[in-house]
Chains A and B, each alone.
Chain A
Amino acid sequence: MAAAEACVGQVVLPGDVLLLPAHPDEDGERLRLGGGAAPRGRLLCGPGLRRCAAGLLVTKCGLLRHRQTGGGAAAGGAYWVDSQQKRYVPVKGDHVIGVVTAKAGDVFKLDVGGSEQASLSYLAFEGATKRNRPNVQVGDLIYGQFLVANKDMEPEMVCIDSSGRSNGMGIIGQDGFLIKVSLGLIRKLLAPKSEIIQELSQLYPFELVLGMNGRIWVKAKTVQQTLIIVNILEACEYMTAEQRKQALAKFSGN
């Protein structure tokens, strides 16, 4: 049992209880808070953490992270556990790449790397009507987001957002190369100022689709360039920044 703030950046194990600072609304303690006269606001308890009586209970092993959010729904900060895994568990709202495995009447079955196949209705594409069906074949790649994803039901995907626009989701085009990496690498690549992405973007013109289920689709002008980018992405998880720069320097000359 330790204070949550003290453990930020350290390794935590499942079963650890993190105490949160005292409730600012308790009458006797309001004066003591000093500068923080406004209530603390809501706390966001991210992946790897659960609520418990005393504070937060850790359910995954990894590093504890904290972010002080400026405003919005979770003013007061967010805590989560930065863990590493290869197996994806569907989460509502995540954008993932799925492979069509079957067409069952009005519904497509997609493999997203989870324990169950996700279902995707043919009406969940932009501009799709009963007469105007999307042209989806078995084996196609689809970029969509989860509408329903919990442990009790089959996951359901859609390729439109709440206002009916596709926003880049839908069938991913021809050619290109699909690889599977760990979930931690995907998060590293999707971070706001990712060095790997910045360095790769200087290399060749190419297109990239990153799914939160650990799948990456790459397409460049020639097959050789595509393979180079794929190899760098796979290897950069275990390379240091120096090694990565050396590897890229070799190819930027070409």
Chain B
Amino acid sequence: MKRIREENAAFGVSCRSFIIEERSFMPCEDLLYGRMSFKGFNPEIEKLMIQMNSRGKKEEIEVDDKMEADVSDEEMARRYETLVGTIGKKFLRKRDQCVLQDEDEDGNSNTRPSKKAKRKFLKPQD
């Protein structure tokens, strides 16, 4: 026994990190869930029994199963792309809306929009 201690001290490893103390019997003996019902006396409890007792084994499988979506992820992303623009337009002032339209049509975004975007108030000439 002394030799093991000395060896442990030499390697700087403590046995203690490998032993977990547990006060409860549940993880040791793998006990079932405490509420039970038989022959259909309480259908909710019977459903619960199946669910709780298979929980430990089937947890991983349940997590992997995803519901099949009606709309695929790609379609959703495409829709959102245009959706942002459509809703954003609602909050633009009327003058800015024209600018936006021209930008889409032309593709040249240097000279013209800068002129048109900053149309100032024209004083009436007498």
Contact = CB atoms under 8 A, between A and B. Distances in A.
A binds B: yes
Interface of A: 1, 19-20, 22-23, 25-27, 40-47, 49-51, 53-56, 65, 67, 73-74, 76, 78, 80, 91-95, 143, 167-168, 187, 190-192, 197, 200-201, 204-212, 219-221
Main secondary structure of the interface of B (DSSP, over half): mixed
**Nearest 7 A/B pairs, CB to CB:** A205-B39, A201-B38, A190-B31, A205-B41, A46-B28, A210-B34, A208-B36
Contacts, number: 139
A168 B47 CA distance: 10
Nearest to A90: B23
Contacts of B11: 25-27
Contact of A51 (B1, B16, B42): B16
Interface residues of B, number: 37
B13 A168 contact: no
A147 to B, nearest CB: 13
Interface stretch (B2-10, B61-69, B79-87, B118-126): B2-10
A55 B5 CA distance: 11
Contacts of A42: 18-20
Contacts of B31: 187, 190-192
B78 to A, nearest CB: 35
Contacts of B48: 167-168
B75 interface: no
B73 interface: no
Interface of B: 1, 4-5, 7-8, 11, 13, 15-16, 18-42, 45, 48, 52
Contacts of A65: 28
Contact of B21 (A51, A53, A204, A206): A51
A44 B20 contact: yes
Nearest to B47: A168
Contacts of A41: 18
Contacts of B27: 44, 46, 74, 78
Contacts of B38: 200-201, 204-208
